[in-house]
């Protein structure tokens, strides 16, 4: 049997952003996926996005992180959540709603 060694090239992050729209309502939207060369919480938060929808503020996110390798291989690594200022109970309620209705 042949052994193939692939070099890790970075990380692919996709997920759902929790947003506050221009009328003050909280909702969620699928983010435009992005890549990073290494996992860094500050960089992930900096790259959270509303996929061009336009919003007042990104209040949190649920993201899936994948390792990227040569030849296009993508391997799931972990899920992370980011609460950027919502009350904890509200964040948990929205998280449950997203999981129930979207994921």
Predicted confidence (pLDDT) per residue in 4-16, tens digit:
899 999 999 999 9
Predicted confidence (pLDDT) per residue in 18-64, tens digit:
999 999 999 999 999 999 999 999 999 999 999 999 999 999 999 99
Query: Which residues lie closer than 8 Å to 1 by C-beta, 6 or more apart?
Result: none
Tokens read off for 48: 């959270």
More confident residue, 101 or 87: 87
Domain ranges of the chain: 8-101
Name the nearest CA neighbour of 14 among 26, 28, 32.
32
Q: How far apart are CA 82 and CA 60, in angstroms?
A: 5
* Separation in Å, CA 15 to CA 4, 28, 68: 30, 10, 16
What pLDDT is stored for residue 103 in this prediction? 60
């Amino acid at each position: 049997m042949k052994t193939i060694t692939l070099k890790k090239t970075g990380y692919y992050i996709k997920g759902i952003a929790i947003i506050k729209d221009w009328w003050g309502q909280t909702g969620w939207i699928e983010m435009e996926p992005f890549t990073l060369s290494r996992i860094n919480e500050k960089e992930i938060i900096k790259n959270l996005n509303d996929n061009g929808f336009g919003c007042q503020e990104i209040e949190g996110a649920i993201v899936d992180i994948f390792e990227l390798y040569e030849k296009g291989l993508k391997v799931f690594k972990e899920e992370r959540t980011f609460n950027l200022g919502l009350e904890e109970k509200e964040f948990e309620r929205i998280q449950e709603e997203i999981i129930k209705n979207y994921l």
